[in-house]
C-alpha cells in the first residue's frame, strides 16, 4: 500500500500563499498534488520541493509543479486560488477537467461561484479560508496563524472534501450557512483592506486612530445593512457591535499587517476591490441600500490602481 492510496489527484491553480499552504499540507499527507504557478515558483519547487514553514513544522514537501494550466488534466479536485480578478481562468480550465471533477474556490469575496459558473461549466464549491500565510520567497510558504476551512452545506461532495482535508490535518468545518460564512469574511475584508491600502497604514495603526476606526465602523454597518437586505445572516454578526469587536480583534492581532489590497497597490498590481467594497457598492445599489463609504473606498482604490 503506497502512501498515496485512496487519495484523489489534486491540482492547485494559483500557487500563492493560500494554494501553497493547503496544497502543501495535502501533499505532505500523501496526496498526489500538482501546483500551477509562475516560472520562478515552478523552478524553485522542481529544484528543492515546496518548503512549508508553519507554526507546527518546517519541512520540504514533494509536489509536481508546472506553469501550464494543462497540468490539471486528470485532477479530481482543483483548489482554485487565483485572485478574483482572474476568475476567467476557469474558461480555459473547464475543458481540461475530468467529468465529475470539483473546483473549490478558495478566494476572497462572495460571488466567485456565480462568476465562475457564468463563465464555465464546472462543478464549483466555495470555501471560506482562514489562514495567515505569505510567500517570503518562491517555493516557500510561511504560515503564521489559523489554517482552517469552512465549506457547505453538508452533502456527499462536501463530506468527501472535509474528510480529505481532515486526513491532512487541516480543520475543515461543514456549515449549513455557507453563504453567511462567506459574508463574515467579506465583512472583515471590507472593514480593513481598503482603509489599510488608502491610508498606507498597518492594521494596528487603523485600530489606534479613532477617526480611522469610525470609517471602519461605517463600512461595517453598511455591509451588514446590505447583508440584511439580501437575506444573508453572517453567523455571529447579528449584532453590529459584535462585528466591530471582531474587526478590532483582527486589527489588533494582525497589528503589523498591511492589507493585501495595500500590498497590491504598492506593487502596481490590480486589487480584488471589485469583489470586496466594490461588490457591496453594486449590491447595495441593486437593493436600495446606501453604501457611500464602501463606494468611496472602492472608487478610491480603483483610481489608485496602477499608480503606485
Contacts 24+ apart (CB under 8 A), 296-300: 297/190, 297/194, 297/195, 297/198, 297/219, 297/273, 298/194, 298/273, 298/274, 300/194, 300/198
- On the question of a cis peptide bond just before residue 153, with omega within 30 degrees of 0, the verdict is yes
What's the closest the beta carbon of residue 83 comes to a second copy, in angstroms? 20
Interatomic CA distance for residues 308 and 303, integer angstroms: 11
The residue assigned the cell 510558504 is 141
Closer to a second copy by Cβ: residue 105 or 291: 291
Residues near a second copy (CB under 8 A) are 195, 198-201, 205-206, 209, 211-212, 214-215, 218, 292-293, 295-300, 302-304, 307-308
What's the closest the beta carbon of residue 301 comes to a second copy, in angstroms? 8
Closer to a second copy by Cβ: residue 135 or 258: 258
Closer to a second copy by Cβ: residue 43 or 305: 305
Closer to a second copy by Cβ: residue 178 or 207: 207
What's the closest the beta carbon of residue 135 comes to a second copy, in angstroms? 24
What's the closest the beta carbon of residue 162 comes to a second copy, in angstroms? 40
Interatomic CA distance for residues 257 and 121, integer angstroms: 37
What's the closest the beta carbon of residue 107 comes to a second copy, in angstroms? 22
**HSE-up of residue 138 (Cα within 13 Å, Cβ side):** 15
Interatomic CA distance for residues 173 and 40, integer angstroms: 34
Closer to a second copy by Cβ: residue 173 or 221: 221
Q: How far is CA 121 from the centre of its chain?
A: 22
Cβ 224 vs Cβ 187: under 8 Å? yes
CA distances from 146 to 28, 169, 170, 174, 259 (A): 18, 12, 10, 17, 17
Which cell numbers hold the place of 4?
498515496
Closer to a second copy by Cβ: residue 218 or 263: 218
What's the closest the beta carbon of residue 292 comes to a second copy, in angstroms? 5
What's the closest the beta carbon of residue 87 comes to a second copy, in angstroms? 20
Closer to a second copy by Cβ: residue 27 or 198: 198
Amino acid at each position: 500500500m503506497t502512501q498515496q492510496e485512496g487519495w484523489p489527484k489534486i491540482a492547485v491553480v494559483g500557487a500563492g500563499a493560500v494554494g501553497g499552504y493547503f496544497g502543501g499540507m495535502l501533499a505532505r499527507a500523501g496526496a498526489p498534488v500538482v501546483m500551477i504557478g509562475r516560472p520562478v515558483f515552478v523552478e524553485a519547487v522542481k529544484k528543492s520541493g515546496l518548503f512549508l514553514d508553519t507554526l507546527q513544522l518546517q519541512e520540504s514537501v514533494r509536489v509536481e509543479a508546472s506553469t501550464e494550466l494543462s497540468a490539471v488534466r486528470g485532477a479530481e479536485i482543483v483548489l482554485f486560488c487565483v485572485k478574483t480578478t482572474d476568475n476567467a481562468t476557469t474558461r480555459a480550465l473547464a475543458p481540461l477537467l475530468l467529468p465529475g471533477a470539483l473546483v473549490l474556490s478558495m478566494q476572497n469575496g462572495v460571488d466567485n461561484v456565480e462568476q465562475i459558473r457564468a463563465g464555465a461549466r464546472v462543478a464549483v464549491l466555495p470555501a471560506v479560508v482562514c489562514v495567515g500565510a505569505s510567500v517570503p520567497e518562491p517555493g516557500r510558504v510561511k504560515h503564521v496563524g489559523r489554517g482552517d476551512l469552512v465549506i457547505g452545506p453538508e452533502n456527499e461532495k462536501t463530506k468527501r472534501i472535509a474528510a480529505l482535508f481532515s486526513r491532512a490535518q487541516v480543520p475543515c468545518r461543514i456549515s449549513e450557512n455557507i453563504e453567511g460564512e462567506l459574508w463574515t469574511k467579506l465583512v472583515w475584508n471590507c472593514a480593513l483592506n481598503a482603509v489599510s491600502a488608502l491610508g498606507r497604514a498597518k492594521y494596528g495603526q487603523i485600530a489606534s486612530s479613532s477617526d480611522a476606526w469610525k470609517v471602519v465602523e461605517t463600512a461595517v454597518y453598511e455591509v451588514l445593512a446590505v447583508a440584511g437586505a439580501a437575506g444573508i445572516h453572517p453567523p455571529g454578526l447579528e449584532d453590529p457591535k459584535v462585528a466591530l469587536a471582531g474587526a478590532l480583534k483582527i486589527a489588533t492581532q494582525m497589528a503589523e499587517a498591511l492589507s493585501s489590497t495595500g500590498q497590491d497597490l504598492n506593487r502596481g498590481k490590480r486589487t480584488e476591490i471589485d469583489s470586496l467594497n466594490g461588490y457591496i457598492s453594486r449590491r447595495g445599489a441593486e437593493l436600495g441600500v446606501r453604501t457611500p463609504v464602501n463606494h468611496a473606498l472602492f472608487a478610491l482604490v480603483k483610481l489608485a490602481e496602477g499608480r503606485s
